[in-house]
């Protein structure tokens, strides 16, 4: 019986995929591409993504000073209290106006898009998995 419930749970979780879950999966993939740890401390500073926090098991949501990576749409995301240099923008405007952004997740030409900044990756000494190569610019 327990197995049947597990089966139903898995099926429904597959069928119940929604926008928030997809956004979280994308941020999770980005975080794991940039930070090579099983569990990653993440700070999210974007009110549009606040409601994503319940959707990941491998990302732990913390304040900026404890984060391995910061996802931000605001200038405050670059607070000096942040120890990490891995700052990933969730706003195209911020990405294009700040050279310290490692990359960005935003909508472009009617589609969601991610970009990694080559210069910043080199500066931080990060090698991305091969399947992310086409997103480096």
Partner 1 sequence: MLKKILVGFTVAFLLLQTLNAQDINTLLNSLAEKDDLSVHTKKENAGYLIIFTRQDLDRMKTRSLKELIEKIPFVRYNENSRGLSDPYFQPYQANNPSRIRIYINDRELLSPMFGNGLQILGQMDMAYIDHVEVYIGLPSYEISIEPAATVIKLYTKTGKRENTSVFGISGGSYGTSDTYGYTAKDMKDFSYFIYGDHRNLKREKLYNQGNLLSRDKETGNFYAQLTTAISRFEFQAIKGSMNNFLGNSWNMTPQNSTTDFTYLYAGYNFTSPDKSVKANINYTYAIYDYFDSSNAPLGLNPISVYPFYAPFYTNRVKMHEDLLDTQITKKLNFSKSSLLLGFRNRYKKFTSDIHTRNSISVPTSSNYNYEDIVSAYEEFDYMLNKKNRLIFSSSIDKYFEGGGINGETIYGIRLGHIYHNDIYTQKSFFFYGKFRATPYALLVNDSLLVNPGDLKSEKSYAISTKSIWKLEDLTTSLLFARTVLNNHIYFNPTSGSYKNSTDKYVFDSISYKNSYALNVTDKIEFNAWISFEDYGKNANDRYETKHGGYVALFKKLGSIDTYNAITYRDGYDNLSSGWNYNITLSYPYSKHLSLFLKGENLFKDAVKANYYRVNPLTQQVTTLDNVSVFDRTVWLGMEYEF
Residue 32 to residue 52: CA distance in whole angstroms: 17
List the beta strands (DSSP E) in 1-137. 40-45, 59-61, 69-72, 87-89, 103-108, 111-116
Which residues, other chains included, contact 132 with Cβ-Cβ below 8 Å and sequence gap of 6+?
33, 116
| Among positions 14, 47, 54, 125, the unique one binding partner 1 when judged by CB under 8 A | 14
* Residue 15, SS3 per DSSP: helix
Min dist CB 17 to partner 1, Å, is 7
Contact between 72 and partner 1 (CB under 8 A)? no
Min dist CB 54 to partner 1, Å, is 16
Contact between 132 and partner 1 (CB under 8 A)? yes
Contact between 98 and partner 1 (CB under 8 A)? no
Contact between 3 and partner 1 (CB under 8 A)? yes
Contact between 90 and partner 1 (CB under 8 A)? no
Contact 93, 61 (CB under 8 A): no
Binding site for partner 1 (CB under 8 A): 3-4, 6-7, 10-11, 13-15, 17-19, 22-23, 25-26, 28-30, 91-93, 106-114, 131-132, 135
């Amino acid at each position: 019986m327990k197995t049947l419930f597990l089966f139903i749970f898995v099926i429904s979780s597959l069928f119940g995929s929604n926008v928030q879950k997809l956004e979280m999966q994308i941020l999770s993939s980005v975080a794991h591409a940039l930070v090579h740890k099983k569990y990653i401390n993440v700070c999210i500073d974007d009110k549009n993504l606040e409601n994503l926090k319940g959707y990941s098991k491998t990302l732990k949501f913390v304040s900026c000073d404890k984060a391995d990576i910061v996802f931000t749409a605001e200038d405050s995301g670059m607070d000096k209290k942040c120890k990490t240099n891995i700052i990933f923008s969730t706003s195209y405007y911020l990405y294009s106006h700040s050279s310290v952004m490692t990359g960005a997740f935003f909508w472009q030409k009617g589609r969601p898009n991610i970009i990694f900044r080559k210069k910043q990756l080199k500066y931080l000494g990060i090698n991305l998995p091969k399947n992310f190569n086409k997103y480096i610019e």
